Amino acid sequence: MPTRSRLAYESGGVRLPFDLFRPETDDVRPLVVCLHGGGWISGDPSDMREVALGLAAAGYVAAAPAYRLAPLHPFPAAVQDVHTFLATIRHMADELRFDPNKVATLGNSAGGHLSAMCGATTVEPAYRANAVVAICPITDVCDPRASHYPICWSFLEQFMARPFEGNQDFYRSASPVYQVGPDSPPYLIVHGEADDVVPPEQSERLEAALKRVGVCAHRVSLPGEGHSFTYGGWAAIERGYLAFLKEVFGDA
C-alpha cells in the first residue's frame, strides 16, 4: 500500500502544506507533482489524493502541494509557489527517495495552467519540470473576454487582479503559450472536445506554441468529454499519462 505523509514548504513568506505519497518500495523513483484546480481561488491538496494514490500505486513518488489562492494572493503568487515547490523539493530528493532529474508536473484546469507554467523557460532549470501533463489547461489569459467563456471571466479577474487593457505584458507573463521555449520539457496536453469551461482551443494554442520551438508536444482530444470527465474518460487520461511518463522517464 502507498504511504502518505503531510509535510510543508515555504513560499512568499507563507508556510504551505503538501502531501507526499510513496510506493511500497524504498527505491529511488521519479516524482510527479499533482496540482489541484479550482479556478485559482479554491481547492487544496486533498483534491489530488486519488490521482496521487494512483501514481504511487504505479511506482511513482507523488506530491500534492497547496499554493496561495486568489483573490487574496493574485498572480504571480500561485505560479511562484509551484516554481518554489519544485526547487524546494528537489533539495529533499535524497531524503524523500526520488530522482531530482525526473520530476513531472500534472494538473487539471487551473492546475493544468500551473503545470504548463512549470515548463516555462523564463525561469531557472531548478524551478522547471522535466515533463508536463496539462489536462484541460488554461494556456493564454490574454484578452479574456474574447478568448474565454463567460464562466471563467470572474476567475480570471480575481487571478489577475488588474484589467487586461494597459497590462498586456503582465497577462502574457501569466500565459504558458508565451513562456515556453526550446528548452521546455516534453508535454502531454489533454482536453475534452465538449469542455464548456475552458475552450479546447486553449490546448491547441499550447501545442502550436511548443511545436513552433521544436518541443515534443502530444495533444489528446477526447470526443464527448466535458470539463468534468466521465469515469471512462478519466480512465483513458490516466492510461495516457502513465504511458507518457514511462516514455519520458522509463520504468517507474
In the chain, where the domains are located: 3-247
Q: What is the mean pLDDT of residues 172-194?
A: 98
Predicted confidence band of residue 242 (pLDDT cuts 50, 70, 90): very high
pLDDT above 90 (res 252): no
Overall average pLDDT of the 154-178 stretch? 97
Asked if pLDDT for residue 81 goes beyond 90, the answer is yes
CB neighbour class for 121 (10 Å; exposed up to 12, middle 13-18, buried from 19): middle
Q: In what order do the strands lie in the sheet with 14-22?
A: 3-11, 14-22, 61-65, 29-35, 98-108, 131-135, 187-192, 217-222
3-state secondary structure 163-177: CCCCCHHHHHHCCHH
Cell of 252: 517507474
Given a cut of 90, is residue 139 above it in pLDDT? yes
The confidence score (pLDDT) of residue 30 equals 98
Question: At 1, is the pLDDT very low, low, confident or very high (cuts 50, 70, 90)?
Answer: confident
Q: What is the pLDDT of residue 71?
A: 98
3-state secondary structure the chain: CCEEEEEEEEECCEEEEEEEEECCCCCCEEEEEEECCCCCCCCCHHHHHHHHHHHHHCCCEEEEECCCCCCCCCCCHHHHHHHHHHHHHHCCHHHHCEEEEEEEEEEECHHHHHHHHCCCCCCCHHHCCCEEEEECCCCCCCCHHHHCCHHHHHHHHHHHCCCCCCCHHHHHHCCHHHHCCCCCCCEEEEEECCCCCCCCHHHHHHHHHHHHCCCCEEEEEECCCCCCCCHHHHHHHHHHHHHHHHHHHCCC
pLDDT at 243: 98
pLDDT at 95 over 80: yes
Choose between 26 and 242: higher pLDDT. 242
What confidence score (pLDDT) does residue 2 get?
87
pLDDT at residue 157 greater than cutoff 90:
yes
Read off the C-alpha cell for 191.
482536453
Homologous superfamily (CATH) of 3-247 is Alpha/Beta hydrolase fold, catalytic domain (3.40.50.1820)
> According to the model, what pLDDT value does residue 26 have?
87
Angle at 143 between CA 227 and CA 36, to 5 degrees: 35
> How far are the Cα atoms of 57, 62, 81, 240 from residue 174, in angstroms, in the given order?
34, 25, 13, 27
pLDDT at position 207 is 98
Query: For residue range 97-123, what is the model confidence (pLDDT) as tens digits?
Result: 999 999 999 999 999 999 999 999 999
pLDDT bin (cut points 50, 70, 90) of residue 37 is very high
Question: How large a percentage of the chain has pLDDT more than 70?
Answer: 100
Residues in the chain: 252
Give the contacts of 213 (CB within 8 A, at least 6 positions apart): 180, 181, 182, 184
